[in-house]
Amino acid sequence: QVHLVESGGGLVQAGGSLRLSCAVSVVSGRTFSTYLMGWFRQAPGKEREFVAARQRSGASTDYADSVKGRFTISRDNAKNTVYLQMNSLKPEDTAVYYCAADPRSGSMSAKNFYRYVYWGQGTQVTVSS
């Protein structure tokens, strides 16, 4: 069983920054360092979309084109936490941001919603113009 809790959302002006955190509690099974971790977001009236992902323990990352160069995903395996540093925020970044985890080994793209097994409850990010 795995629990994910996001934090760090809020209201920020365009051009500002926020850092989201996702604390992962692992009750049993594989350790956090082996998990694929991802961030997704969902704006009102829109489907949930991929934002960023970071592979197990390594440096491999993926980003949506819309956030490349502005957002950075990182992880601290000692703290079982993954972060999303968001810079140069735009009003179109406004959404509920979700943390997601996949403890398995698999070939499905890290950008695919269906790849992930566990999800957090989400944290609201609002960017004002």
5-40 pLDDT, tens per residue?
999 999 999 999 999 999 999 877 778 888 999 999
The residue that leads in pLDDT, 106 or 121, is 121
| Res 55 pLDDT > 80 | yes
25/21 Cα distance (integer angstroms): 13
CA neighbor of 116 nearest in space, from 4, 21, 18, 6: 4
Q: State residue 28's pLDDT score.
A: 77
Contact in structure between 49 and 42 (CB atoms under 8 Å): yes
pLDDT one-digit tens code per residue, 60-113: 899 999 999 999 999 998 999 999 999 999 999 999 999 999 988 888 899 999
Separation CA 116–CA 6 (nearest Å): 16
